[in-house]
Structure 1
Amino acid sequence: MVCAVGNRRRVAHSCASVVAVLPWTFVTTTLVESNIFTLSIAGLTLFHGGRYLERAWSSREFAKFLLVVSLIPNMLCFLVLVMLFTLTRNERWTLTTIAGTIPLQISFLVAFSQLVPAHTVTLFRGILSMRVPKFPLIYIGVVTILSLTPLLTSASLFLSLFAFLTSWTYLRFYKTVFPDLDSSQPTSMRGDASETFAFAEFFPGPVKPFVAAFSDQIFNALVAMRVCTPFSPGDVSTGQGGSYLPRGAPGGVRAEAERRRALALKALDQRLHAATSTRSSSQPPNQTSGPTISTQPQSSTQTAMTSQPTAMLGETNYNPDHDHEKEGS
């Protein structure tokens, strides 16, 4: 028994020594994968998701985001494993490997939920369709199931949970957000006060009220501890209006202007069609007694306006999505 206790102490001491000598491993371990399958998924995630987020934010903001969602989940997972070893005295917790891009993958899903919260992804030719904010919890469920198999370690579940909470907290309260270049808002603000990015929006409809009440209590406690700063009324109104969206993000001020311009062109085309049909119906019938004004050749401009009204402005086939129609109503 003494030997067993001595081995446990040596294991705990070795873990602490590694962390003290190599502290940067809390960041670099995120890029380590154990098999070719997870390595392929990690490569696709970093290339496509990273390119989209870097274009929407900036290289500097994207690098800060990567640092936050890599460092904090790994540190929290390490502390949890050490605590479990202290409580259970089971060396399996200290020998568990903390590695992989799981924190980055779920953090990217949370970031997409902020950028495109109203987008719906359709799979299997329309059999399955869901909104983007539903994917983080689905990903956590998949990781939970795979952590029970040899494919993933038990630390993967802790990494996914901590990365989900870390990425949402950072984007909700701390990340610097710049307005669209065409908007007349201040230079920058922190966080995202929009209701579409509330914590309860990630959960199914029946449990949203319970999650919202629980998260509000935690937020009030964090505000009392001065960990978080409550949003001002101006931040809430700005978040509700959607003016503070990342540069180039879908649904920004510039996209809204294009949508209204397309709707105006469509209304103008409809009015031209109505005016042309009214003019053609009010013309007198042709007479055979002699040439009159109605039988004389029309000018090229009038012919183009009466015979082909859509050739002047072109055809507008803009179909706004359901979310814009709901907002308009």
Structure 2
Amino acid sequence: MPPRLNIPPITRIVLVALVSQSLLSFAIRYRQWSEDSDIVVPYLSLVPQLSLIYPWTFLTTTLVENNLFTLGISSVTLFYGGRYLERAWTSREFAKFLVITALVPNILSFGALVVMFALTSNMAWTLNTINGTIPLQISFLVAFSQLVPAHTVTLFRGIISLRVPRFPLLHVLCVTALSITPLLSIASFFLVINGLLTSWVYLRFYKSAFPDLETSQPSSLRGDASETFAFAEFFPEPVKPFISSIGDQIFNVLVTLRICTPFTAADVAASRGDSTFIQRGAPGGARAEAERRRALALKALDQRLNAATAGAKPVPPPPVSGPSVQVQPQTTTQTAMSTDSASLGETNYVPERDDH
């Protein structure tokens, strides 16, 4: 009998929605296909010029793929990435993360295409279809960069070795290159950029963190002010100072607009490059913060597993047939032999003496 796949509930729902909506879109476009026009489904996928009367498409369009190649990649990404993150965060936090990283990039990409239409007066910008799991893919990579920042992935038998925080930038470059080919639309470029920014801002400033029972930090702690999750960590070493300075300016704008909340004085010192910065709520540097977060995640996962197993009905042990055996300390060999003989009921046989 084949092993049963253990898929968490939210990941299972998202996978079913992705496959069903994509196949439905395939069937509709196949029936209406013609060589003279490009078929779109405005009530499943988000098309700026046609989908305003279908507001649900701002969310459902993320789970619609246009071809089998992207559908396969999306299914694998949601299966493995969704299982990992849902078990690490709980289903509620994972569902919230999915909604934010799908809805916000779609809205921002919609606005970007409208702005391009206003600047160029080219109607083709508003006829681009905004769809696909690209925002979720880049968001998963950003989440992995937060959870395992020191992990290194080796590819092609050691020829290529990359740390996890390098993968979001590689994904952005790949999507940008494919967006100029027929495989992806130009809207994919806006989706991957907005997905990167949305997921990082949410995880950096808003997502609820695991409470640390060993320190006095409040249970309502949000965000991640560690050095290993700075935005500049996604880029190579030569451009990190430049990206860091731009990130500081953007952060100040977001604080002015009340989108982000300023960190404490220690967090501000870290953003200025103070190497003696101590992580919020944890003594030590960036590596200690990463280890602490992994330990907290494992502790929370262990508590949930213990709670699940505690609810199961205990199975009584099978009855033991025969007398119980107790092991007594043996002082000498003679004592052990006599004890064994007595316990087994052994009878010593002494032959009769012949007096004659």
Residue in structure 2 matched with residue 65 of structure 1 by the alignment:
97
Match of 2:239 among 207, 211, 215: 207
Asked whether 1:237 is paired with 2:280, we answer yes
Task: Tell me, yes or no, if the aligned pair for 1:183 and 1:253 is still in contact at 8 Å.
Answer: no
* d(CA) in 1 for partners of 2:298, 2:110: 44
Match of 1:161 among 178, 182, 193: 193
* CA shift for structure 1 position 245: 7.0
* d(CA) in 2 for partners of 1:67, 1:246: 28
Asked whether 1:18 is paired with 2:51, we answer yes
TM-score (norm 2): 0.63
* CA shift for structure 1 position 226: 2.4
Task: Tell me, yes or no, if the aligned pair for 1:121 and 1:130 is still in contact at 8 Å.
Answer: yes
Task: Tell me, yes or no, if the aligned pair for 1:178 and 1:245 is still in contact at 8 Å.
Answer: no
Unaligned runs of 5+ in 2: 1-46, 268-278, 300-356
* CA shift for structure 1 position 227: 2.2
Residue in structure 1 matched with residue 294 of structure 2 by the alignment:
250
Q: Secondary structure at the match of 1:177?
A: coil
Q: Secondary structure at the match of 1:215?
A: helix
Which structure has more relative contact order (CA 8 Å, sep 6+)? It is 1
* CA shift for structure 1 position 91: 1.5
* CA shift for structure 1 position 60: 0.5
Task: Tell me, yes or no, if the aligned pair for 1:77 and 1:159 is still in contact at 8 Å.
Answer: yes
* d(CA) in 2 for partners of 1:162, 1:35: 23
Judged with a 3 Å threshold, the aligned counterparts in structure 2 of structure 1 residues 253 and 55 are, in CA distance, closer, same or farther, namely: closer
Letter in 2 for 1:169: V
Greater helix proportion: 1
Residue in structure 2 matched with residue 45 of structure 1 by the alignment:
77
* CA shift for structure 1 position 217: 1.6
Q: Secondary structure at the match of 1:18?
A: coil
Match of 2:153 among 110, 121, 137: 121
* d(CA) in 2 for partners of 1:198, 1:175: 15
Letter in 2 for 1:223: V
* Aligned pairs (5 A) from 1:111-150: 111-150=143-182
* CA shift for structure 1 position 179: 2.6
* Aligned pairs (5 A) from 1:26-37: 26-37=58-69
* CA shift for structure 1 position 240: 6.7
Judged with a 3 Å threshold, the aligned counterparts in structure 2 of structure 1 residues 180 and 43 are, in CA distance, closer, same or farther, namely: farther
* CA shift for structure 1 position 150: 0.5
1:177-218 Cα distance to aligned partner (Å, 9 max, x none):
113567664323110010100011001000101111111122
Letter in 2 for 1:145: A
TM-score (norm 1): 0.68
Q: Secondary structure at the match of 1:129?
A: strand
What is the root-mean-square deviation in Å for CA atoms of aligned residues?
2.5
* d(CA) in 2 for partners of 1:180, 1:122: 32
Residue in structure 2 matched with residue 302 of structure 1 by the alignment:
none
* d(CA) in 2 for partners of 1:17, 1:123: 43
* CA shift for structure 1 position 17: 6.2
Task: Tell me, yes or no, if the aligned pair for 1:222 and 1:228 is still in contact at 8 Å.
Answer: yes
Task: Tell me, yes or no, if the aligned pair for 1:173 and 1:192 is still in contact at 8 Å.
Answer: yes
Task: Tell me, yes or no, if the aligned pair for 1:102 and 1:160 is still in contact at 8 Å.
Answer: yes
* d(CA) in 1 for partners of 2:159, 2:84: 27
Task: Tell me, yes or no, if the aligned pair for 2:51 and 2:57 is still in contact at 8 Å.
Answer: no
Letter in 1 for 2:98: L
1:270-320 Cα distance to aligned partner (Å, 9 max, x none):
xxxxxxxxxxxxxxxxxxxxxxxxxxxxxxxxxxxxxxxxxxxxxxxxxxx
Residue in structure 2 matched with residue 102 of structure 1 by the alignment:
134
Task: Tell me, yes or no, if the aligned pair for 2:166 and 2:234 is still in contact at 8 Å.
Answer: yes
Q: How many residues align?
A: 240
